[in-house]
Structure 1
Amino acid sequence: MASIDTLTPTPKKPSTGRRAVWIAVLVAIAWLAISGFVGPLAGKLNEVQKNDNASFLPASAESTLVADEQVGFSDNTSFPLLVVVTRPDGAAMSAADAATAAAVAAAIPGLPVEGGGTVADYLDPSPIIPFPSQDGNAFLINVPINGDKGGEKLTDGELAFGGITTAVRELALNYPDLQINATGPVGILSDLIKVFGAIDTTLLGATALVVAIILIIVYRSPFLWLIPLLAAGIALSTASAIVYYLAKNDVLVLNGQSQGILTVLVFGAGTDYALLLVARYREELHHHDQHAVAMRAAIRGVIEPIVASGATVIIGLMCLLLSELNSNRSLGPVGAAGIAAAVIVMLTFLPALLIIPSVVLPILAFLVPTIIGLILSLVTDIPIGPFVTIGGAFAGITVIGWIIFGILRVTRPGWGPFSRQNFPSGSWVFWPKMPRVDDTDERLSGVWSKVAKGVGRRPRLTWIATALVMLVFAGFSLTLKADGITTTQAFVERTDSVIGQEKLADHYPGGLGTPTVVMANTSALDEVLSTVQATEGVAAVAPYSGVPAGAPGAEMAEPMIVKDRVQLLVTLSAAADSPAASESVQLLRDRVHAIAGADALVGGQTASQLDVDIASVHDRNIIIPVVLGVIFLVLMLLLRSIVAPVLLIGTVLLSYFATLGVCALVFDNVFKFAGSDTSFPLFAFVFLVALGVDYNIFLMTRVREESIKLGTRPGILKGLTVTGGVITSAGVILAATFLVLGVLPLVFLREIGFAVAIGVLLDTFIIRSTLVPALAYDIGKKIWWPSKLAKSPE
């Protein structure tokens, strides 16, 4: 089978190259137009986020069933903002302090909410009074916010929950002698919203900056780094618009974590595909004197591994549809949309930009700032006028520059570094080091040539030593603590709500303000009530009467009965988001479920978190085997082999457990994290296996191509040599983009970013560079069994 390297360039008519250029121009303009259309939708992605556990759970979850029943007891769902008042020195509250706490409580309803009335407009009809702690060191003010009203958007786009919390925190500044913290479900939610609101700016900007720096280092060209970055940006805006439309129409549930992962996934994977195409295009320019012919050859060479890689990641992500959690299930389509957009853009828009001659630069110089201005003008108050002016200036400067250079190229053919000879169309993007026909490909004599020769000399020792090192790290995976963390432990920084939760736990029963809810038949009320009271971990319990706590007659009110069902409000001793509280809820469920005729159900915030943890374990046990199975099938079809896919899956699994081992060591001893979310192992697995297989696909498809020409063992060394640089660069970029998740102050995102980064680097520098090629070299041609290639001569 003839290889691309040995093809003799076919003479082309002059019009062929011009036609290819005009097609490229049309493709580039089409994508820029699409970007201008979808950009405004992508900018609204924050508006369709949902970040509460209840929206993640399936309808069959016990806590969801309780929430559905609660609607019958009250049309309005109240969410408490808990204001904790203490002294900075921790001393007992004085009479003057008590008066101040009362003044704070009285002032809260009248506080103005920026962009929407006063706090009183969002309150449920319950008295706002300070409750002293039993130790006399704190006062607790429960501010009951109507769930429907609190979820409304203010004129500045912020949720009313956040505006109310901000108003209370600003009020606290007026009392410097006391420490006043706003916490509880509303306070914590407000801090989460603030974090996720930074995704559009902080995360996107940091990701683009990191990718740009690495591309500049990799390419060492003033032009080339811009092209993959522009293509990745258009891929992200396209994917974000698709996700926005699906989330807005309730096809999927989008949370802040999924949005953050989408950004780094598109930039990371898209840049990987760009590196692969650019490297192959550079290689083909050594063999073809027409850039259009070289690009066609490059696309033929990379389309199979890029499509196979994208398909593998998409299929792996879509396996998350088997999840019981809406948040996990939606991450599949969200990530799949991002990968699909990256594949399509990098195989169409990127090649077009690479072969467009320099005369098109003025068009791009004008369009890019103008489109950015259009997008910003639609989603912010920034006017488009300055961007049009900037675009015009860029275009004008570019036109003047290229007119001067053009005249010099025509009148003085051998002039300077920008002559036709030194600056040819189609390869100018590689300036100052542009590939030439018949040049020696430096990759065949570089560092990766030495690595390949080292693997070929002692393959068995190489793969055994490498595997043993990885097994040592994998052993530490058994020490990973992934049994969940509290809501306050989910923040890297000590936010106001975190400090408030700590104060609340110090002076009040941990579950105060966020009660666990028990539903039961009226006929079993007495037995259920006595059973709940006798359960370990329960601080207090009372039937729901519909009369607000603290209101006249609240203590004497009869239990409210709806459809022969009663509701018990249970205050737990432990903090509502703690593992101890989850254990108490599980114990409650075990005991009340055993009461005959009660049909009891246990819900509430703690129960919702418990149901999320239970569903996470279920998802892990179901999805991991399915992902392995479908990826094995993809590899088997791609490589026409059974042995090679088994080898690749085995090495990726080894890399996964080694990564978990490194994470266990770093999380516990370096970052000092309290633990990991229960969904961490599943997310890490999906990303590490799907993305880790990518690099093996890039390597082994080239190895197979070279094995057909040279034989298996020489083909392995040639494949490792020619792909080493580009795959290593791709791995570094993908690792760096996921590390960018660390700019957001959430433990889960920092952990998943670190895990994927470390896993990708292990795959890039150890698994793909030494373990896989050494093991494949040791096995020889049998690695292709049962295909015909397994019977070919070495």
Structure 2
Amino acid sequence: MEPLRAAGRRFSAAVTGRWSAWLVLLVALALSGAVVSLGGEARTSNDPTGALPASTESVEAAALARQLPGGRVNPALVVYSRDGAPLDAGDEAAIGVHVRAFAPVATGPISPPVLSPDRSAALLAVPLPADASPDEVTDAVDRLRDAAREGLPSGLTAQVSGGAGFRADVASSFDGANLTLLLVTVAVVAGLLIVTYRSPWLWLVPLAVVGAADVTANGLIAVLSRAVDLPIDPSTTGIVDVLVFGAGTNYALLLIARYREELRRRPDRREALRRALTSAGPAVAASATTVVLSLLTLTVAVLRNDRAIGVAGAVGITTAALYGLVVLPAALAVCGRGLFWPFVPRPGQPEPTRAGGWAKVGAVVARRPRAVLAGVLILLVVLSSGLAGARLGLSKTEQFRVQAESIDGLRTLSRHFPAGAADPTVVVGRAAAEEPLLSAITGTPGVASARPSGRTADLVGVDVVLAAEPDSAASYDTIRELRDRVHAVPGADARVGGTVAANLDTRDAAVRDLRVVVPLILAVVLLVLTVLLRSLVAPLLLVATVVGTFFAALGASVLLFTHVLGYPALDTSVPLLSLLFLVALGVDYNIFLAARAREEAAGAGTRQGILTSLAVTGGVITSAGVLLAAVFAVLGVLPLVTLTEIGIIVGLGVLLDTLLVRTLLVPAIVLLLGRWFWWPGALARQADPAPSGAGSDPPDGAGSSPPDGAGSGPPDGATPAREGAPAGQ
């Protein structure tokens, strides 16, 4: 361990030196500028099934459908209605005029309008290219909507929906949304930093460093996306911004809190900064390593969007950690103690945290650890009970938090046409087996109608309208039954695709990823905690508390979504991503608390070590947790229900972790287990010093301030001897 400590001291001296700190800042500025200039736009994908593996049946069906005449179109559906009243001759004439007006936008002939059975609605399909970019689709749909509003008789409405309309609304909903997200995130972080530091300018330093890290990370992600053909959609960019600002600010809070602590002990501010970086740096590095490795477990996911979030998030967290460990100390080094004005830490000042509010909380937990443990566990179980009513999977009409014309059009269609008419399921098979294939399709329960949609010498396509609401349980049952039946047709070699089939495949893939990736995430966290804490019991218990926090947050959020916000279900990607972010980021606080407790326990014993750790880290963990929860809540400014759900679950989970689990439950567990919490490490063999007054309760001031000049850990270059262990172990 001594070579590592020596390397750490050399590193801290290099980034905090009188001239080297300026050099670090100049190099960081130059590198950031170069990355931003080279970054450009990240690669995006226009393929609706691009998130699924090529071997998925809906993807195979889409590939076959593109070989059919008209298979490379993505129609925009224009829905005409009169609020339930039948359409009259004037309405039909106006629709006929629109057929000619839409022709310049369409990529092929426009079929005659289709009237609903009750003649109260009409449907017009306008073919648009399936491989068009999001900007091209948005432009075409905007032109259609402008043309559709012209010349309408009074009372007649026209809504542009369908696949093209939905893609255009998704793209338009993100116009400026990520900028808004970034601005709101910066405002939230700035406000909370001002409240935390109570200084007019200290907050500017970490905010500037984290902001530079975010810009640099986005540039790196853009370059990487083009280099390895990894599409990055706008929601991924928003998630990465939140990760960088949340984690980066947490790292800054921990380092600056330790720096301020050292400034109260040492007259040389650079020496204080070096000690703070040497002490807090390993915890930050371990925390970042855990998050990065956890994010990279998503590379084994089958959903391409999840893999993109994993890789992009890992780049973002790595960048945030490097800026926090290199650029932030250099920035602090060039500033004097006055940076903390008006509360400037001076040598000889008492450490307020050691006898403050969290020290009193620790004393309460120490007096009644069993009661605290039972109370927190009961609360977590009660909150987890909300999972009983959870449902997985959102339909198209349920994915927007804001009004979208494509969604309104789908609802109009569902009132007047069979539920699946707006987006038919597509079956593609061999032309030689067309008749038995059609017979199998029409004989499937839940199929409202079926008609051939295109032929080649070898293939035939069939558009299938389902009777059930798209993306409902009944529609998924119909897709499964339909697949079973067409697969049984001899020589058909048929594939079932379309939006509903793709959504079913996506949900199944999400469930598979949840089963495969979650154990990997937990294994990564266990491994890092085991190496950091040199224990087996502590990592297992700490991971268990994080998992318990996740289920409690998920259950409470389901109740909120169902009974307050009116969301019918969790989106397919929400459980996995929420668990990933909550476990990976929640372990930060485990590391901050447990690493400091281990440091303190080396000299004062496990009992006093956890109480001192709670006293001195409780404030920074609370500040970091509140800030991270607020940053994730900012995802709610984006228009998709998926991101709002992730933001709420992670934000609520972080608050539970910060205010209950990390500050009450974990200390209670450590106090009950004592030194066995560190088993089989050396600390498990070190008996706690006998308390003054055997059997007495610890005083409220447990963990009070050490004598002037005494550090919370060992002096430079030394490790105190522990009972049963040689000095320096």
Q: C-alpha distance in 1, partners of 2:275/2:149?
A: 67
- The C-alpha deviation readout for 1:718-739, integer Å capped at 9, x for no partner, is 0000000001000011000000
AA partner of residue 254 (structure 1)? I
Q: Could you say if the C-alpha distance between residues 500 and 18 of structure 1 is closer, same or farther in structure 2, counting changes exceeding 3 Å?
A: closer
- Alpha-carbon shift at residue 597 of structure 1 (Å): 3.3
Question: What is the aligned counterpart of 2:399 among 472, 485, 490?
Answer: 490
The residue that corresponds to 1:27 in the other structure is: 24
Q: How does 1:158-557 map to 2 (within 5 A)?
A: 159-174=135-150, 175=152, 177-357=155-335, 426-482=336-392, 484-545=393-454
The residue that corresponds to 1:73 in the other structure is: 68
AA partner of residue 480 (structure 1)? A
1:76/1:146 contact within 8 Å kept: no
Gaps of 5+ in 1: 3-9, 11-15, 111-118, 152-157, 358-425, 546-558
Paired residue secondary structure (1:145): coil
The residue that corresponds to 2:705 in the other structure is: none
Normalising to structure 2: TM-score of the pair?
0.90
AA partner of residue 677 (structure 1)? D
Q: C-alpha distance in 1, partners of 2:288/2:37?
A: 26
2:296/2:311 contact within 8 Å kept: yes
The residue that corresponds to 2:555 in the other structure is: 661
AA partner of residue 104 (structure 1)? H
Q: C-alpha distance in 2, partners of 1:91/1:639?
A: 72
Q: How many residues align structurally?
A: 677
1:589/1:602 contact within 8 Å kept: yes
Q: C-alpha distance in 2, partners of 1:594/1:53?
A: 28
- The C-alpha deviation readout for 1:669-699, integer Å capped at 9, x for no partner, is 1111111112211111111111111111110
1:106/1:128 contact within 8 Å kept: no
- Alpha-carbon shift at residue 280 of structure 1 (Å): 0.6
- The C-alpha deviation readout for 1:521-577, integer Å capped at 9, x for no partner, is 3443222110101112222222233xxxxxxxxxxxxx4322xx3322222233544
Q: C-alpha distance in 1, partners of 2:98/2:355?
A: 75
Q: C-alpha distance in 1, partners of 2:623/2:283?
A: 17
1:284/1:297 contact within 8 Å kept: yes
- The C-alpha deviation readout for 1:207-242, integer Å capped at 9, x for no partner, is 111111111111111111111111111111121112
Gaps of 5+ in 2: 3-8, 689-729
- Alpha-carbon shift at residue 43 of structure 1 (Å): 6.0
Paired residue secondary structure (2:128): strand
The residue that corresponds to 2:519 in the other structure is: 625
Q: How does 1:732-747 map to 2 (within 5 A)?
A: 732-747=626-641
Percent identity of paired positions between Structure 1 and Structure 2: 41
- Alpha-carbon shift at residue 18 of structure 1 (Å): 12
Question: What is the aligned counterpart of 2:109 among 99, 112, 126?
Answer: 126
- The C-alpha deviation readout for 1:137-185, integer Å capped at 9, x for no partner, is 111111100123x32xxxxxx6111011112222344336321111111
Runs of 4+ in 1 over 6 A off after TM superposition: 16-19
- The C-alpha deviation readout for 1:31-56, integer Å capped at 9, x for no partner, is 222232223455634xx233754110
AA partner of residue 410 (structure 2)? Q
Q: Could you say if the C-alpha distance between residues 448 and 52 of structure 1 is closer, same or farther in structure 2, counting changes exceeding 3 Å?
A: farther
AA partner of residue 633 (structure 2)? L
- The C-alpha deviation readout for 1:237-266, integer Å capped at 9, x for no partner, is 121112111222343232232211101010
The residue that corresponds to 1:753 in the other structure is: 647
1:485/1:579 contact within 8 Å kept: no
Q: What value does the CA root-mean-square deviation take over the aligned residues? A: 2.0
Q: Could you say if the C-alpha distance between residues 42 and 208 of structure 1 is closer, same or farther in structure 2, counting changes exceeding 3 Å?
A: farther
AA partner of residue 130 (structure 1)? P
Q: How does 1:694-713 map to 2 (within 5 A)?
A: 694-713=588-607
Question: What is the aligned counterpart of 2:94 among 93, 96, 100?
Answer: 100
AA partner of residue 98 (structure 1)? E
Q: C-alpha distance in 1, partners of 2:47/2:387?
A: 30
Q: How does 1:635-714 map to 2 (within 5 A)?
A: 635-714=529-608
The residue that corresponds to 1:400 in the other structure is: none
Question: What is the aligned counterpart of 1:91 among 85, 90, 97?
Answer: 85
Q: C-alpha distance in 2, partners of 1:566/1:163?
A: 32
AA partner of residue 413 (structure 2)? L
2:264/2:348 contact within 8 Å kept: yes
Q: C-alpha distance in 1, partners of 2:251/2:136?
A: 42
Q: C-alpha distance in 1, partners of 2:423/2:558?
A: 32
- Alpha-carbon shift at residue 665 of structure 1 (Å): 0.9
Q: C-alpha distance in 2, partners of 1:27/1:67?
A: 52
Paired residue secondary structure (1:49): coil
Q: C-alpha distance in 2, partners of 1:320/1:492?
A: 27
2:600/2:609 contact within 8 Å kept: yes
